[in-house]
Amino acid sequence: AQLTQSRRAAAFALIRGDGTVVTWGPGRFGGDSSAVQSELWDVRKVVASTLAFAALRGDGEVVTWGHKDFGGFCDPVKEQLHHVEHIAATRDAFAAVRSDGGVVTWGNSDSGGDSSAVATDLKMVRRISAASEAFAAVTADGRVVSWGRPDWGGDSSSVQEHLTDVVAVAGSSRAFAALRRDGRLVSWGDPEFGGELPVAAKRLSSVQHLVASNGAFAALLSCRGVVAWGDPLWGGDCSAEQTNLKDVESITASDAAFAALRADGTVVTWGHRSRGGDSQPFTSQLYDVRQIVGASKAFAALRGDGEVVCWGRIEAELDASIRCRDVEEDLKD
């Protein structure tokens, strides 16, 4: 089983071992996938906007559900959605990368759902990342192409000369950060949301992985340590947990917090306390953790024994323990 979520959404999706999908949470947020259940087979990946989901099947086809104005309706571009290899989402739009390197977008045009302005540059695309209202695509030759709301990351012209040999890009709500092959970082967009690197981060040349909350970024270093920047209230300051941030295997984000999974299966969190940044009450349950996913204001951790531990602020009518219990059997499949 594989848990799937977006820090911008309040619903969860689970891809079971047989490739089918189970969703839970508010139906209006994409928690109800019953209308397309017959199409949800051999699913390899599920991506969420705020009120919709898009599932990528093994045959390269895409299935969407949820609010039509938030990308839950892809019929206008359905014929172009073939041989899809990757999907990304802003808060109300989706972008899909095909095997030929082409890009297909749908949803709110102001939030990246219309990529016609950069269509000639969107060639040989390998990966796309999203901010709240903008997309950034990485091409096979390491270039970056961005579109959507200009001041929230949709315009990368100010740092274009530094965006070379890029291997990955992550987006907060209003900014992007790019990781180059040499381990260095480049950022653009709203400075208050991580769009401006602190001096210490500019000097780094050992970054291996990059993730973002809605207002901050966190980077995993080759020494298995962590650095963070952006708004401290959204996880941009991890100094209080720095002594515990050792032997880190991966970092996951909610909308305002980060959770680091260590090699020993334990978890370290920081950021907004009520949005997943405080896992202290669940420390005794957070052992042998294999995977962590972030919701809009919460985290869910999958342990080696198949049990799920949730913490943070749960927006749906059900609390964390009920949510986890309701899907327990599916998670064990």
CATH for 257? 2.130.10.30
Same domain, 20 and 115: yes
Return the closest-CA partner of residue 299 out of 275, 324, 328, 326: 275
The predicted pLDDT at position 50 comes to: 86
296 phi and psi angles, rounded to 5 deg: -65, -35
Please say whether the beta carbons of 84 and 66 come within 8 A. Answer: no
**Is residue 151 assigned to a domain?**
no
Task: Output the six-digit token pair for 321.
Answer: 């323990």
**At 284, is the secondary structure helix, strand, or coil?**
helix
pLDDT for 297 equals 86
Number of structural domains in the chain: 2
Task: Please tell me whether residues 99 and 220 are part of one structural domain.
Answer: no
pLDDT of 239 reads: 94
Residues 136 and 1 in one domain: yes
How wide is the angle at C-alpha 226 spanned by C-alphas 258 and 260, nearest 5°?
A: 40
Q: Which residue has 């039509």 as its token pair?
A: 68
The residues, any chain, with a CB within 8 Å of residue 4's CB and separated by 6 or more, are 12, 13, 14, 15, 45, 46, 47, 48, 293
Measuring CA to CA, which residue among 60, 59, 83, 64 is closest to residue 74?
64
Q: Which of 119, 141, 163 is the last residue of a domain?
A: 141
Instruction: Report if residue 248 sits inside a domain.
Output: yes
Residues 114 and 227 in one domain: no
pLDDT of residue 128: 96
Instruction: Please give the Cα distance from 84 to 125 (Å, whole number).
Output: 12
> CA 28 to CA 240: how far, in whole Å?
38
Same domain, 31 and 118: yes
pLDDT tens digits, one per residue of 203-239: 888 999 999 999 999 999 999 999 999 999 999 999 9
Q: What contacts 284, CB < 8 A, 6 or more positions away?
A: none
Quick one: 208 exposed, middle or buried, by C-beta within 10 A (0-12, 13-18, 19+)? middle
In whole angstroms, give the CA distance from residue 32 to residue 38.
13
CA angle, 62 then 65 then 67, to 5° = 135
> How far is the first Cα of the chain from the last one, in angstroms, to the nearest whole number?
6
Is the same domain home to 124 and 212?
no
Tell me if 27 is assigned to some domain. Answer: yes
The CA–CA distances, whole Å, from 110 to 22, 132, 185, 314 equal: 31, 11, 27, 29
Q: Which residues of the chain have pLDDT under 70?
A: 1, 3-10, 314-333
Structural domain of residue 105, as residue ranges? 1-141
Q: What is the pTM of this model?
A: 0.83
Torsion of CA 229, 155, 83, 21, to 10 degrees: 40
What was the pLDDT predicted at 319? 44
Tell me the CB-side half-sphere exposure of residue 57, using CA atoms within 13 A: 16
Q: Are residues 94 and 4 in the same domain?
A: yes
Q: How far apart, in whole angstroms, are the C-alpha atoms of residue 90 and residue 309? A: 27
In a domain, 181, yes or no: no
Q: Could you count the other beta carbons within 10 Å of the beta carbon of residue 284?
A: 7
> What's the longest Cα–Cα distance across the chain?
53
The reply to whether 106 and 236 lie within a common domain is no
E strand or H helix at 324: helix 320-326
Residue 155 lies in a domain: no
Q: Are residues 11 and 129 in the same domain?
A: yes
Helix (H, G, I), strand (E, B) or coil at 145: strand
Predicted pLDDT at 20: 93
